[in-house]
């Protein structure tokens, strides 16, 4: 079945450091891929998405490229801020079942 694997956290970085959070997936066909972010005490916010191979999603300085050949959708940001501290979830859209399948989430802590 479809699944998503994310790198284990927590990830602790200093402000202005480069961020990579790895995400790989297993799926049949060409699922849409998403990154959601959950700030402390809040629900999920859509951060970015990609719907086909080689698409690059981007938002608020974050980027992720849909790589079909490596079944990956890694999240990157060139310079993180303290305000980026949150839990990041990689997800894929489960097609006909219309459900999102999430990775386990990666906690990012950015220190000043």
User: What is the Cα–Cα distance from 29 to 66, expressed in whole angstroms?
Assistant: 13
Q: CB of 110: closest distance to another protein in angstroms?
A: 23
* Residue whose pair of structure tokens reads 């999430």 in the numeric block: 102
Which is nearer to another protein, 25 or 89 (by Cβ)?
A: 89
Q: CB of 29: closest distance to another protein in angstroms?
A: 13
User: What is the Cα–Cα distance from 18 to 36, expressed in whole angstroms?
Assistant: 19
Parallel, antiparallel or unpaired: strands 23-26 and 11-14:
unpaired
Which is nearer to another protein, 17 or 24 (by Cβ)?
A: 24
Q: CB of 39: closest distance to another protein in angstroms?
A: 10
Q: CB of 5: closest distance to another protein in angstroms?
A: 12
CB-side neighbour CA atoms (13 Å) of 69: 1
Binding-site ranges for another protein (CB under 8 A): 32, 36, 42-46, 49, 51, 89, 93, 97-105
* Residue whose pair of structure tokens reads 């998503």 in the numeric block: 4
User: What is the Cα–Cα distance from 76 to 94, expressed in whole angstroms?
Assistant: 24
Which is nearer to another protein, 1 or 112 (by Cβ)?
A: 1
Which is nearer to another protein, 4 or 110 (by Cβ)?
A: 4
């Amino acid at each position: 079945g479809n699944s998503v694997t994310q790198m284990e956290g927590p990830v602790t970085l200093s402000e202005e450091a480069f961020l990579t959070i790895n995400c790989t997936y297993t799926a049949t066909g060409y699922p849409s891929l998403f990154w959601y972010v959950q700030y402390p005490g809040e629900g999920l916010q859509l951060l970015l998405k990609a719907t086909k191979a080689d698409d690059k999603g981007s938002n608020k300085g974050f980027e992720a490229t849909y790589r079909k050949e490596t079944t990956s959708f890694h999240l990157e940001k060139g310079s993180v801020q303290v305000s980026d501290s949150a839990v990041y979830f990689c997800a894929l859209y489960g097609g006909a079942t219309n459900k999102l399948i999430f990775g386990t989430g990666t906690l990012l802590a950015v220190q000043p």
